[in-house]
A and B are shown apart, each in its own frame.
Chain A
Amino acid sequence: MNEKALPLPETGSVRPVALSFQDRLAAQLPKLVLAPTVIVTLVAVYGYMIWTGLLSFTSSRILPSWKFIGTAQYSKLMENDRWGVSVENLIIFGGLFILVCLVLGVLMAILLDQKIRAEGALRTIYLYPMAISFIVTGTAWKWLLNPGLGLQKTIRDWGFESFTFDWLVNPDMVVYCLVIAAVWQSSGFVMALFLAGLRGVDQEMIKAAQLDGASMPMIYRRIILPSLKPVFFSAFVILSHIAIKSFDLVAALTGGGPGYSSDLPAIFMYQHAFTRGQMGLGAASAMVMLGGVLAILVPYLYSELRSKKNG
């Protein structure tokens, strides 16, 4: 488009040469400007991905070594109890986190969309947790959920002596504490996504449905929510990658404990690769995590690209 926009004088003997240089520069400029980004992405993202993949087949300990030992690290990983716990935790945490965030986000968005007073203020309040880092969220919830310090103690001090809420120190329930804190942080963001989506729904369609005698719940169920399908997809992809790479929340809220009962794969990977001198095993776990992300992303991208081509 730049080429067409440039004035191309027909006369003169020297100028066309100079202009053709400018012309060529203009044509190459976008590529030149983008090149550093492309190179950095190629090296820092895909290059290191391949490097990690290679490391996962080596016997690397505290530093990378290139002694290849086949898939031994992967079989070690599969036999590791702690890895099993962290994967199981990720499934519980990820599943509940995504589900609760989506449900709460949609509900809050619909309620906020009822042309209520002070919507701007309310929206900000719900969205605000997103501005806080997971470390802060984790630390604050650690205090709130600690039985001897937070909620349980407060309610007991009010006179309800038998009140018990000790999920944070209970190995079987601690993973739900992660869900509570993560939902608190992210549901406002999902709400904002859906609110934007709701504002984009064609009002004419709703009016037409109302004329046909459809009730509001029916309109939401049959017309509005189905039209928000792309928003659901985006929210799902964003939330699932937050869930899979969750590290700071666990580190701040539970430190993986009690024991390693609230361990997540990202924590497992970090500890083994960087502090326990088992880089090979850490790399193998990173590759399995990458596999998990791809399993979600590839079908999504495929369906997105196909629908674009068709539509």
Chain B
Amino acid sequence: MKTLKTCLSGIALSVACATASAGEVEVLHYWTSGGEAAAVNVLKQEMEDAGHTWTDFAVAGGGGESAMTVLKSRAISGNPPSAAQIKGLDIQEWGELGFLTSLDDVATAGNWDSLLPEVVSDVMKYDGHYVAVPVNVHRVNWLWANPEAFKKAGVEIPTTWEQMIEVGPKLKAAGIIPLAHGGQAWQDATTFEAIALAEGADFYRKAFVEHDDATLKGETMVKVLTTFKKMRDLIDADSSGRDWNVATSMVINGQAAMQIMGDWAKGEFTAAGKTPGTDYVCVAAPGTADMFTFNIDSLAMFTQSDDSRVQAQKDLAKMVMDPKFQETFNLNKGSIPARQGMDRTPFDSCAHDSMDAFTVSAEKGTLVPSMAHGMATSSRVQGAIYDVVTNYFNASDMSAEDAADKLARAVKATL
């Protein structure tokens, strides 16, 4: 009984402490790998310098799947964190459920509308109000190549998918795996969407954003799927279940010639002490020059009841948009800042290419949201597309026509 009493008073005390301490932010995120963790620490330091308490709530693993499971249970129990790493259309879903708080006052004061490109700010808004703050913009349609491997095989780095299929046998003859790939659904989808984008941004949008039934099972989709299946011949037999960074290391050590992956792959090259342009080359995925598949990481802000926590949350939003944080974070992450008009000098040539492509594609209307990374569609439809794409890619006896038909049916079933 006595111990129970001590326990209870202990709990009461700790609750009292928690409410008394001013300006706490609890941030749920899955930036746990080396560079990412360093980047988050910058934000933590800035918040602490401003006198707030930072409670780190990092949930590692599963590309954020575990973090989302934790977030759901916290939200249901009525105790959501101040901010959570949520991106793309999931922001809309959480907004619809009424959990997110408006950041309009911070946004107006910080003039976010002029600092952020419209495609980015659209993702951050629910019902016209800012509810999330962007930390970076990833370009997904990159091709990472090892120039040494190409020299050895005596071929050029492909710029179209036809060339890609042509150089395959020559690279193989030189004892090099043409394409490093990991057999996981999201990696299959990343390659698939790059091939689809080569058919034009309009086709891409119709299929993955508007989910037009005729486009999904149409002739162009069949062509895309046929090309996609041919990638199978460029991949080694053991790719099943391989993690993306293992595939990247195959390009780094020259075992493989290329990888199609977003710019987070650059972190692996940097960590291995390689320089862009000489040790490795970053070019747009075949047929998608001047096009840009974006993947934006963001922190969504949850409604808080305590005033001091609300203030800390607003300060957090302000600091995320701060040029210093945007620069440090993106140098570590391999992406480009979401905030426009920043100093380009600290960034490398790949990041410069990415920034240029971002501007050009925005003008040309070829800036599209990534389907494979939850920017184009809800997790439901994305999951349905994943299933069909990965099954088709691995099945031995499915025709491209059947796959297109299945794709259209699967998407329709989840809408």
Q: Which residues of A contact B (CB under 8 A)?
A: 61-64, 76, 79-82, 142, 146-149, 166, 168-169, 171-172, 254-255, 257-261, 271-272, 274-278
Residue of B nearest to A142 (CB): B241
Residue of B nearest to A254 (CB): B241
B380 within 8 A of A: yes
B379-415: contact bitstring with A at CB < 8 Å (1 yes, 0 no)? 1101100011011111110000000001000100110
The distance from the CB of B188 to the nearest CB of chain A, in whole angstroms, is: 8
Give A64 to B239 CA distance when docked, in angstroms: 37
Most buried by B among A61, A142, A276: A276
B287 within 8 A of A: no
B241 touches A255 (CB 8 A): yes
Instruction: Known A61-B380, A276-B380, A278-B414; judge A166-B237 contact (CB<8 A).
Output: yes
A80 touches B413 (CB 8 A): yes
List 3 A-B pairs, minimum CB-CB distance, nearest first. Answer: A259-B394, A148-B238, A276-B383
B221-262: contact bitstring with A at CB < 8 Å (1 yes, 0 no)? 000000000000000111111000000000000000000000
Give A171 to B183 CA distance when docked, in angstroms: 12
The distance from the CB of B136 to the nearest CB of chain A, in whole angstroms, is: 23
Give A259 to B8 CA distance when docked, in angstroms: 51
A274 touches B391 (CB 8 A): no
Give A81 to B406 CA distance when docked, in angstroms: 9
The distance from the CB of B138 to the nearest CB of chain A, in whole angstroms, is: 20
**Dominant SS among interface residues on chain A:** loop
Instruction: Known A275-B65, A277-B93; judge A257-B238 contact (CB<8 A).
Output: no
23 A–B contacts, CB within 8 A, in A order: A63-B72, A81-B406, A82-B391, A146-B238, A148-B236, A148-B238, A166-B237, A169-B239, A255-B241, A257-B184, A257-B185, A257-B241, A258-B183, A258-B240, A259-B390, A259-B393, A259-B394, A260-B391, A272-B383, A275-B68, A277-B93, A277-B379, A278-B414
How big is chain B's contact interface, by range?
35 or more
With beta carbons under 8 angstroms apart, the residue of B62, B72, B239 that contacts A62 is B72
Chain A residues with Cβ below 8 Å from B241 are 142, 254-255, 257-258
Other A-B pairs beyond A148-B237, A260-B391, A276-B383, 19, CB < 8 Å: A63-B76, A76-B413, A147-B237, A147-B238, A149-B238, A166-B237, A168-B240, A169-B238, A171-B395, A172-B396, A254-B240, A255-B241, A259-B185, A259-B391, A271-B383, A274-B72, A275-B383, A277-B379, A278-B380
B387 touches A82 (CB 8 A): yes
**Dominant SS among interface residues on chain B:** helix
Most buried by B among A168, A254, A258, A271: A258
Give A39 to B239 CA distance when docked, in angstroms: 49
A278 touches B383 (CB 8 A): yes
Residue of B nearest to A259 (CB): B394
Chain B residues with Cβ below 8 Å from A76 are 413
Instruction: Known A166-B237, A274-B72, A275-B65; judge A259-B395 contact (CB<8 A).
Output: yes
Chain A residues with Cβ below 8 Å from B395 are 171, 259, 261
B69 within 8 A of A: yes
Chain B residues with Cβ below 8 Å from A259 are 185, 390-395
The distance from the CB of B92 to the nearest CB of chain A, in whole angstroms, is: 11
A61 touches B93 (CB 8 A): yes
Give A146 to B395 CA distance when docked, in angstroms: 19
B7 within 8 A of A: no
With beta carbons under 8 angstroms apart, the residue of A80, A166, A258, A274 that contacts B68 is A274
B97 within 8 A of A: yes
Instruction: Known A276-B379, A277-B379; judge A81-B387 contact (CB<8 A).
Output: yes
Residue of B nearest to A76 (CB): B413
Chain B residues with Cβ below 8 Å from A63 are 72, 75-76, 97
Instruction: Known A62-B97, A63-B72; judge A257-B394 contact (CB<8 A).
Output: yes
B311 within 8 A of A: no
Chain A residues with Cβ below 8 Å from B394 are 171, 257-259, 261
Residue of A nearest to B71 (CB): A62
Give A277 to B65 CA distance when docked, in angstroms: 11
Chain A residues with Cβ below 8 Å from B240 are 168-169, 254, 257-258
The distance from the CB of A292 to the nearest CB of chain B, in whole angstroms, is: 22
Residue of A nearest to B393 (CB): A259
B183 touches A257 (CB 8 A): yes
Give A290 to B411 CA distance when docked, in angstroms: 28
Chain A residues with Cβ below 8 Å from B185 are 257, 259-260
A260 touches B396 (CB 8 A): no
Give A194 to B391 CA distance when docked, in angstroms: 41
B378 within 8 A of A: yes
Give A82 to B395 CA distance when docked, in angstroms: 13
Give A276 to B387 CA distance when docked, in angstroms: 12
Give A12 to B185 CA distance when docked, in angstroms: 81
B179-195: contact bitstring with A at CB < 8 Å (1 yes, 0 no)? 00001110000000000
Chain B residues with Cβ below 8 Å from A272 are 383
Give A81 to B390 CA distance when docked, in angstroms: 13
Chain A residues with Cβ below 8 Å from B93 are 61-62, 277
Chain B residues with Cβ below 8 Å from A261 are 391, 394-395
Chain A residues with Cβ below 8 Å from B76 are 63-64
Chain B residues with Cβ below 8 Å from A62 are 72, 90, 93-94, 97, 379
B71-98: contact bitstring with A at CB < 8 Å (1 yes, 0 no)? 0100110000000000000100110010
Residue of A nearest to B390 (CB): A259
B193-232: contact bitstring with A at CB < 8 Å (1 yes, 0 no)? 0000000000000000000000000000000000000000
